[in-house]
Amino acid sequence: MKPQNIATVQLSAEQSKFIEEARKGKNVLVDACIGSGKTTAMQLLCGEIPKEKQVLYLTYNKLLKLDAQQKIKGKNITVTNYHSFALSALKKQGIHAGISDLIQRFNKEKPPIQKYDVLILDEYQDIEEEFAELLNYIKTSNENLQIIAVGDIDQKIYDKTALDVKKFITDFLGDYVRLQFTQCFRLSAELGNMLGRIWKKQIVGVNKNCIVETMQLPNVLEYLSNQEPKDILCLGKREGDLSETLNLLEENWPEKFNKNTVFASISDKNAMGATSPKRDSAIFTTYDSSKGLERKICILFDFTEEYWALRLAMPQQKYEILRNIFCVAASRGKEKIIFVQSGKELLSEQSLLLNQENEDLERFFISDMFFFKYKEDVEECYQLLNIERMKEESSPELKIKNSDGLIDLSPCIGIFQEAAFFEKYDVDKQIEFALLNRGSKKIMFTEEVKKSSVKEKVLFLTALETHQDRYWLQVKKDFISEEEQIALCERLQTVFSKDEEVQKFGMIKFGRENGESWFSAIGIADVIKDNTVYELKYVTELMHEHFLQCACYMIAFGLKRGVLWNTRTNEKYHISVPDEKAFLNAVSKTITKRACAEYFKPLKDEENVPLSKMFAVIDTETNWNDEVMSVGLVIANENTLCAEYERYYIFSPEDTVGGMYSSKLEMRSCNPIRCTRKEALKEIKYILKCHNIEGMFAYNASFDLRHLPELNFLSWYDIMKVAAYKQYNNKIPETAETYKTGRLKRNYGVEAIICLLKDDDKYTESHNALLDARDELEIMRLLGHGIEVYSCANIHEGKQNEEKRIIEEMVQLIQPGEGANEEQYDKEKNGIPENEKCTSDKQIKEVEKYYSVAEAARILNVSKSTVYKRLREGEISFIQRDGIYVVKETDLNKYIESIKNAQKVSVMMFYGLMVGSIIAFVILWLMMDNLI
């Protein structure tokens, strides 16, 4: 691309003022609104700076650097970014440093640098603390340096530094002139005004050719198919409409849209990624990665109230940063900006103006918890490690090609090195787990795929995990040659045998000062061998975050030794943590962005790593529409029957409907995670996988299984099938009325059973999903049986056809009091009272049974709204208990009997009419016969 012809550029009054002040040699700070032509203005300025003056033009990252280098030319002008500047200066001194260490090493060494007369800072709002130190060194090394800083603090979308940028830049400039660019040459007047109102600043959109419109999702695909790839930028969540649109474009129009014409990101932290977009490629990425990108056409998926609320509810999410991310994304189209309508309400200006930050801490994943944190805090953690490079025999770098067109193969290589070598790495299980989140792709997992090579399965797995079918359909199946595979396996074989323990789950629990649990960090370590954690990477260069991951896995497993191994370069580093408390203090401070500056071990914390086999207990609460609105999950140790890990989710928007136990959703010590059902189930599946869970337990499990069909891949066990039987529950009195099989006929709900087991009639059920799950686990512990006893309580095999089972249950109408057999009762939730209590003398007395509206609806096989209608019309009697409408069993039976009687009357009337009709017909026939 040739530099813009300066003679043809018509300057705005604001741009002219900027160049005028800069030519006077003044320091200038420009607050440039979005799309205001700041790069053009700086290009024009550079053209007017005398050739004898040396200019250093610094920008934030590689992408911005390349863009600026295309536009700003001149032998006296150095256009670079911070890392490249540091690298060049250190190289001249013969000093080598990795990417993670470049700026720190520069600041430590302070190497001689070229003399400059003018320093231009682009995107000054993204300056970090270590960049600030580098800039101060440049300034002190160049007397009388003129400084020009251009940017927009409202376009700050990176929350990676604790530096007060506004204070730094004003101190750094000293005596300066402040100017504004308010004209936006990219956007229309209407969109510019809206963004201005949100950012509370003047933005004057002057692009009359910019069209902003909405488009229905089904029409987006057809529209894009008629565009050129170089004109397209698509932004949104990776999982959903964005990736599905990419998949359909490449499937239906492969000549135009393919791995050579489309860039699709797989991570927001891919500074080390193997690919980057080309100037003529379409781009599919997230809002978070949209900074610096622009195309003629920008398609915005997921610009909805739901996605905004979900992002805003995430822990540690700063409102200003999220607002900027959404607004920057909405400004990336030069000619057309299309907001996609997919049946969900589009995000409104009012919502973007509403600050509702969430300061809660919930959970972290060790693999990525150090990314997008304050850089200075990450470095503090790193400095607390002892790191020693291990000696190894000289060996060549394994330069396996890590890209195919614009497809990044790095994740494929990382998976392959473990799948191809370790016998206990089951790639088929990984695929089965990934398919749980992408059920629509099950059809692609054919017998042919199941019988395919490890390489092909790795590509299929990567396609599932990235939601990009291109990995399976477009990447060369032999992406690693036989020679490369042999070399990689031989390298691993120098340390490991094929039967090593791999993919081990670990956890660090963080508590409060009073000993209560607060949050946790979980993850899966690659290999544990000889009391050493091995973290395997295949990367061009190791980052500080990789060392910190390994150290955290060491602490999670209670091990003192760790090894970080880059199998590409064969570099191995021995890691130790000299002062574990100091390190954990720093980790707490870092991953919580200073919300928690000190580590406390929870008082009830036992082994951080569940080495024994685990199982899960789950409970659900539903709303008035019979939809799940909350889930409580407890992971327990099979040997001790004690909880090791727990999660509590509240589903939005299901919780807004209201339900019988809505008042119980928010309870002390439950620490709810508010998210969508899809997000919760995805994390639950991940947690179950991490703990190698195969069995799910619940009290009256058929109810929970029916409402959580996403978890039907597990074997389900009903705790009630043990707790309610005399042969398993020795607390059941001899006088209790039971079936011949030993099961109680009544009083076998959670509340009644706990009262019985504890010999305490004061216990009441909470009806909070997490607290109830804890109680159900407590029942198992009080019963005192080994986990193997519950084999008799299996109600669902993992491979059973769930849909068929549900249909079979739904066709059975259970009517209490009508002599239904035990097998029918076992299948029906309604047979389980939730509010019966046992007496202190352990005798289970006959007490009145009550049904909730939801339970009554299930018994009658009608909707809850129908039950409410019957209550209002007086057809069914009801009372209020604790503010909740309930129906007596006797009253419900009376109503059922009345329905039966009404049906009998209807039948009698029907037969009467039939008989009367027949008699009338005979008489008429006889009369006709006599007449003839």
For residue 726, give the CATH number of its domain: 3.30.420.10
Geometric angle at alpha carbon 227, from 226 and 230, rounded to 5°: 155
- Rounded CA gap, 725 and 323, in Å? 57
Same domain for 527 and 431: no
Distance CA 126, CA 376 (A): 14
Q: What is the pLDDT of residue 481?
A: 92
Do 377 and 345 belong to one domain?
no
In a domain, 606, yes or no: no
Residue with tokens 């700086």: 42
Q: What's residue 608's pLDDT?
A: 42
Cα Rg, the chain, nearest whole Å = 34
Which residues are within 8 A (CB) of 810 and not within 5 positions of it... i.e. 6 or more apart? none
Task: Give per-residue pLDDT as tens, 374-399.
Answer: 888 999 999 999 999 998 767 788 88
Residue 607 has pLDDT above 50, yes or no: no
**How do strand 407-408 and strand 501-511 relate by DSSP bridges?**
unpaired
102 and 206 co-located in one domain: no
Q: Are residues 131 and 259 in the same domain?
A: no
Q: How confident is the model at residue 832 (pLDDT cuts 50, 70, 90)?
A: very low
**Which H helix or E strand runs over 235?**
strand 232-235
3-state secondary structure string across 884-926: EEEEEHHHHHHHHHHHHHHHHHHHHHHHHHHHHHHHHHHHHHH
pLDDT score, position 828: 36
Whether 619 and 513 map to the same domain: the answer is no
pLDDT at 666: 80
Q: Determine how β-strand 501-511 pairs with β-strand 517-529.
A: antiparallel
How far is 104 from 344, CA to CA, in rounded Å? 46
Q: How many domains does the chain have?
A: 5
For residues 554 and 686, the model is more confident at 554
Amino acid at 141: S
Terminal Cα distance for the chain, rounded: 107
Asked, for residue 834, whether it belongs to a domain, the answer is no
Burial (Cβ within 10 Å: 0-12, 13-18, ≥19) of residue 300? buried
pLDDT of residue 610: 38
What residues have CB less than 8 Å from 175, skipping those under 6 apart?
27
In a domain, 505, yes or no: yes
In the block, tokens 């001790």 appear at: 640
Domain CATH for 299: 3.40.50
Domain that holds residue 733: 614-813+822-828
In a domain, 230, yes or no: yes
Question: Residue by residue, what is the 3-state secondary structure of 820-852?
Answer: CCHHHHHHCHHHCCCCCCCCCCCCCCCCCCEEE
In a domain, 914, yes or no: no
Q: Are residues 745 and 695 in the same domain?
A: yes
273 shares its domain with 164: no
Q: Is residue 899 part of a domain?
A: no
| Measured CA distances, 38 to 32, 35, 135, 166, 184 (Å) | 7, 8, 21, 19, 10
What are the tens digits of pLDDT across the range 783-829?
988 888 898 899 887 644 443 343 343 333 323 333 333 333 333 33
Going by C-beta distance under 8 Å and a sequence separation of 6 or more, which residues neighbour residue 397?
568, 569, 570
The answer to whether residues 275 and 311 belong to one domain is yes
Position 178 scores a pLDDT of 93
Indicate if 644 and 659 belong to the same structural domain.
Answer: yes
Residues 638 and 781 in one domain: yes
Characterize the bridge pairing of strands 407-408 and 628-637: unpaired
For residue 889, give both structure tokens: 């069993």
pLDDT digits (tens, 9 = 90+) for 458-477: 999 999 989 999 999 999 99
* Residue 762's pLDDT band (cuts 50, 70, 90): confident
Which pLDDT value is given to residue 788? 85
- pLDDT average, residue stretch 153-161: 76
CATH number at residue 29: 3.40.50.300
pLDDT digits (tens, 9 = 90+) for 230-260: 999 999 998 889 999 999 999 999 999 999 9
142 band by pLDDT with thresholds 50, 70 and 90:
very high
In a domain, 868, yes or no: no
* Residues 385 and 440 occupy one common structural domain: no
Cα–Cα distance measured from residue 870 to residue 868, given in angstroms and rounded to the nearest whole number: 5
Is omega for the bond preceding 653 within 30 degrees of 0, making it cis? Answer: yes
Q: Is residue 54 domain-shared with residue 164, that is, in the same domain?
A: yes
Residue 600 included in any domain:
no
Q: Classify residue 33 by its DSSP letter.
A: P
pLDDT tens digits along 191-230: 989 999 988 889 998 888 889 999 998 899 999 999 999 9
| Residue position matching structure tokens 């191809």 | 420
As beta bridge partners, residue 851 has 887
Cβ atoms of 12 and 160 within 8 Å: the answer is no
**882-925 per-position pLDDT tens digit:** 545 677 777 777 777 777 666 555 555 555 555 555 555 555 55
Please say which residue of 798, 828, 858 terminates a domain.
Answer: 828
Retrieve residue 426's tokens: 């089951």
Angle at 527 between CA 522 and CA 532, to 5 degrees: 95
Final residue belonging to a domain, choices 142, 160, 181: 181
Q: Single out the residue of 274, 832, 897 nearest to residue 568, CA to CA.
A: 274
Buried b (16+ CB within 10 A) or exposed e, 795-818: bbeeeeebeebeeeeeeeebbbee
- Looking at residue 804, what is its pLDDT? 38
Least confident of 273-282, 637-646, 699-708, 913-922: 913-922
Confidence of residue 848 (pLDDT cuts 50, 70, 90): low
Kindly indicate the confidence band of residue 855, based on its pLDDT and cuts at 50, 70 and 90: confident
Instruction: For the chain, give the mean pLDDT.
Output: 82
Domain limit, last residue, from 181, 208, 237: 181
